[in-house]
Amino acid sequence: MHFVESEFAKRVNPSETLAVTTLIAELRRQGKNVIDLGAGEPDFETPEHIKAAGIRAIETGKTKYTPNVGTLSLREAICRKLYSDFGAQYEPKQVVVSNGAKQSIHNTVLALCNPGDEVIIPSPYWVSYPEQVKMAEAVPRFLPGEEANDFKIKPEALAREVNASTKLILLNNPSNPTGTVYTKQELQALIEVLRKHEVWILADEIYLKLVYRGSATASLATFPEIRDRLLLVNGFSKSYAMTGWRLGYVVAPPPVANAVAKIQSHTTSNPCSISQEAGFAALEGSEEALMAMRTQFEARRDFVHAAVSQWPGVSARLPGGAFYVFCNVAQVLGRKYRDKTISSPSVLCQLLVEHAGVALVGGEAFGSTRHVRISYANSMENLREAMHRLQRAFEEIAAV
Ligand SMILES: Cc1ncc(COP(=O)(O)O)c(C=O)c1O
């Protein structure tokens, strides 16, 4: 039978970050020793009390469908957390729990956007945003943040970009891939611009618990003046090392939450019942494990950033949060490495994985033709070895 991809499928590009994972698996099968600094996944184990809650859920028969929007107890726990963390008062009917923040964003974009609506995406951006916007037949409008300004977008530039067709802005703070963290004042200035227009704000705050020394920020939930237009997305993958449990949520004004719930009811129904019990334990339990992870991430950030600063032809801003260093490799492009021309960041990454045994992700996946992303969600031992290998590779490139 001849297959012709649907127009819907044609609109979507495959995930370049997942492609790196596939390439690493292939090289490892061939016996190559590859250190993976591509994946955006904490290397830590899910904390014990969270795992135990998952096991208990299975043993006590919490293995059935739950309400489509998630259990009431989890949604209540999310509201309690939003109140204790940010003083923000929300009701469970405003919360829809999904199979990961990725699904929450997808559902929310689908619930809001009509074909042709414009969605502002500050760039560099998380790889899935443009694809999710295109799936809704909406139009991504990229707003570049300047590297010299830590990749942050400026209010004046935002004011120029917003127009009558703008439906939504996707604000990711702290940012994947740059690790950029907006201060509360900077967020306030962006809000001032957005409030002059009928624009929804989707705040993807999945890295908000991972902000390091020297940086401070605020949740958009702490700005009451935008509460009626705020779609607050968060998840358990990054802060609680729960990537495989697939659990995230959106908190939104009730009509939006209802539309999101309706969409989800015909796709995945509810998120996994077992994961929801584990998520409840994550929110209600001690944050000691989270704090310990954050301390380790901070030490790795400092180590990796210092290492990158030694490489000839490469530079990087000090990221304030998340677990990525976004390296500018513009000076290396056009040079040779092992007889091949480094024509783009993704070619550089292919050559590095093959010859240096370290996997990174080319900036193209995030809207940059001048950068590569290092994920430091890996052990210090692996990071030491990887930084050493990359130092040698960039010295070799500089010497040709
Ligand atoms: C910025 C950002 N948002 C959302 C997600 C999705 O997280 P999950 O679907 O695992 O909750 C990720 C994961 O990489 C991310 O980096």
Are residues 155 and 128 part of one domain?
yes
Verify that 275 and 333 share a domain, yes or no: no
Pocket test for ligand 1, best of 20, 99, 121, 126 (most atoms within 8 A of CB): 126
- Probe residue for ligand 1, chosen from 210, 237, 361 as the CB with the greatest number of ligand atoms within 8 Å: 237
Ligand 1 centre to CA of 265 (Å) is 21
Pick the closest to residue 94 from 273, 222, 255 (CA basis): 255
Asked whether residue 357 is domain-assigned, the answer is yes
30-74 confidence digits (pLDDT tens): 999 999 999 888 999 999 999 999 999 999 999 999 999 999 999
Domain final position from 286, 312, 328: 286
Residue 207, token pair as written in the block: 């890295």
**CATH code for position 29:** 3.90.1150.10
* Inside any domain, residue 1: no
Note the pLDDT tens digit of each residue in 333-391: 999 999 999 999 999 999 999 999 999 999 999 999 999 999 999 999 999 999 999 99
| One domain for residues 264 and 322 | no
Nearest CA to ligand 1 atom 16: 176
| Cα–Cα dist 219/203, whole Å | 8
At residue 19, the pLDDT reads: 72
CB 68 within 8 A of CB 103: no
Q: How high is the pLDDT of residue 39? A: 87
Structure tokens at 108: 């929310």
Ligand 1 surroundings by CB, under 6 angstroms: 40, 100-102, 126, 172, 176, 204, 206, 235, 237, 243, 248
Domain match, 212 and 274 both: yes
Would 68 be classed as within a structural domain? yes
Ligand 1: centre distance to CA 102 (Å): 6
Per the CB < 8 A criterion, the answer to whether 285 and 80 are in contact is no
| Closest-lying ligand 1 atom to the alpha carbon of residue 243 | 10
Residues 348 and 223 reside in one and the same domain = no
Q: How many domains does the chain have?
A: 2
Please answer whether residues 324 and 220 qualify as being in contact, where contact means their C-beta atoms are separated by less than 8 angstroms.
no
Is 299 in the same domain as 262? no
> Which of 15, 97, 102, when mutated, tests ligand 1's pocket best, judged by the most ligand atoms within 8 Å of its CB?
102
What is the whole-number distance in angstroms between the Cα of residue 349 and the centre of ligand 1? Answer: 22
Domain final residue, candidates 286, 302, 323: 286
Which atom of ligand 1 is the closest one to the Cα of 175? 1
The answer to whether position 109 is within a domain reads: yes
State the residue for tokens 């930084």. 387
Span from the CA of 27 to the centroid of ligand 1 (angstroms) = 26
52 domain residue, yes or no: no
Residue 56 lies in a domain: no
The ligand 1 atom nearest the CA atom of 235: 11
Residues 255 and 150 in one domain: yes
Quick check: is 386 in a domain?
Answer: yes
In angstroms, the CA 283 to CA 285 distance is: 6
Q: Which residues contact 108 (CB under 8 A, 6 or more apart)?
A: 202, 231, 233, 250, 252, 256, 260
Between the CA of 305 and the centroid of ligand 1 the distance, in Å, is: 23
Question: Ligand 1 centre and the CA of 111: distance in Å?
Answer: 19
Strand-pairing partners, residue 35, are: 358
* DSSP 8-state assignment for residue 305: H
Cis peptide before 124 (omega within 30 of 0): yes
Residue at 2 is within a domain: no
Instruction: Give, in degrees to the nearest 5, the angle at Cα 13 between 271 and 26.
Output: 85
Q: What is the pTM of this model?
A: 0.96
Rg for the chain, CA atoms, rounded: 21
Backbone CA torsion sign across 116, 121, 124, 128: negative
Instruction: Identify whether residues 261 and 393 lie together within a single domain.
Output: no
Instruction: Report the CATH number that the domain containing residue 187 is assigned in CATH.
Output: 3.40.640.10
Name the residue with the closest Cα to ligand 1, atom 7: 101
Which of 224, 254, 286 is at the close of a domain? 286
Q: Are residues 33 and 148 in the same domain?
A: no
* CA pair distance 119, 150, nearest whole angstrom: 22
The rounded Å distance from CA 234 to ligand 1 centre is 8
332 shares its domain with 308: yes
Q: Compute, in angstroms, the gap from residue 105 CA to the centroid of ligand 1.
A: 9
Could you give the dihedral angle defined by the CA atoms of residues 37, 38, 43 and 49, in that order, rounded to the nearest 10 degrees? 160
Are residues 205 and 339 located together in one domain of the fold? no
Q: In the prediction, which pLDDT does 21 show?
A: 79
Q: Are residues 237 and 369 in the same domain?
A: no
Which whole-number Å values give the CA distances from 334 to 316, 326, 370, in the listed order?
19, 19, 11
Domain of 265 in residue numbering reads as 63-286
User: 87 vs 78, 84, 218, CA distance in Å?
Assistant: 12, 6, 12
Ligand 1, residue 322: give the atom nearest the CA. Answer: 16
Q: How confident is the model at residue 15 (pLDDT cuts 50, 70, 90)?
A: confident
Number of H helices, E strands in the chain: 13, 15
User: Over the stretch 153-205, which tens digit does the pLDDT of each residue have?
Assistant: 999 999 999 999 999 999 999 999 999 999 999 999 999 999 999 999 999 99
Give the Å distance between the CA of 140 and the centre of ligand 1. Answer: 18
Confidence of residue 400 (pLDDT cuts 50, 70, 90): confident
CA of 34 to the centre of ligand 1 (A): 24
* Residue 14 pLDDT: 77
d(C-alpha 213, C-alpha 56), whole Å: 37
